[in-house]
Amino acid sequence: MNTKELLNILEKTGAILDGHFLLSSGLHSNRFIQCAKLLQYPDYAKKVGVALAEKLSGLEQPDVIASPALGGIIIGHEVARALKKPHIFVEKVNGKPKLRRGFSIEPGSKFVVVEDVATTGKSIMEVVSLLRDLGGIPVAILTIIDRSDNRELPFGDIPFISLLKLTITTYEPNNCPLCKSGSPVTKPGSRNIKA
C-alpha cells in the first residue's frame, strides 16, 4: 500500500476530514483525524496492518506486539495477525498503565508497539516503559499516522515508522483565520455547534 492509496482510504472512510473543527483541547483546526473510521472496516484494517508489518522487514522480528488501549488495539491486532505473533494491550488503571487480563511477557522478549496515531508519543512510551520494566526489549514503534509535526518524539533510539506523515494546523479560537473567513466551526462527529 503506498501513501496515496492510504490517503484515499482515510478520506473515503471519513478518517481524515478537512474543514474547520473544534478540538477537545479547545483549539480550532483545519483537519481532523479519527482512525476508528477506517478501522471499523475489517478489510481496510487488515490491509493497513499488512502494510505496517511489511515495514518491519530488515529490522529485528518481534516475539509479541503491544498496543495502548483503546486506539491501538485494532491495528495492533492486525499487525500481529500479519506477523503471526500474539498481541497484547496496555490499559490504564487509576491513570497508571497496566497489563491486565492475564497478559504478560517473558523477560528478554522483543516487542513492537503499534498505535493508530503518534501525536506526542506519550501513550506509546507508557507501553514501552511498562514492558521494559518487565524485561522486554523494544525493537520498533509503528503507527498508521505520524502527526507529531515538529515536536520531538520521546522514542530515543527505538526505530519509529509510520505509513503517513500528516500536518494539522491548529489555531486559538480568538485568532482563527477560518472563523474570520466566516466558516462555521464543527465538532467532529456531531452537528454544527455554531452557525
Closest to 104 (Cα-Cα) out of 141, 74, 138, 64:
64
Nearer to Zn ion, 28 or 87 (CB): 28
Nearer to Zn ion, 7 or 178 (CB): 178
Residue 16 CB, nearest approach to Zn ion (Å): 18
Residue 120 CB, nearest approach to Zn ion (Å): 23
Q: Give the interface with Zn ion as residue ranges (CB under 5 A).
A: 28, 176, 178-179, 185
Nearer to Zn ion, 30 or 162 (CB): 30
Nearer to Zn ion, 141 or 185 (CB): 185
State which H helix or E strand residue 81 sits in.
Answer: helix 73-83
Nearer to Zn ion, 28 or 37 (CB): 28
Report the b/e string of 30-43 with b at 16+ CB within 10 A. bbbbbbebbbeeee
Closest to 28 (Cα-Cα) out of 186, 150, 193, 190:
186
Residue 82 CB, nearest approach to Zn ion (Å): 40
Residue 164 CB, nearest approach to Zn ion (Å): 25
Nearer to Zn ion, 102 or 182 (CB): 182
Residue 19 CB, nearest approach to Zn ion (Å): 10
CA–CA separation, 192 and 25 (whole Å): 17
Q: Which residue is nearest to Zn ion (CB)?
A: 176
Beta bridge partners of 62: none
Residue 32 CB, nearest approach to Zn ion (Å): 13
Q: If 0-12 CB within 10 Å is exposed, 13-18 middle and 19+ buried, where does residue 193 land?
A: exposed
- Grid coordinates representing 157 are 533510539
CA–CA separation, 88 and 73 (whole Å): 8
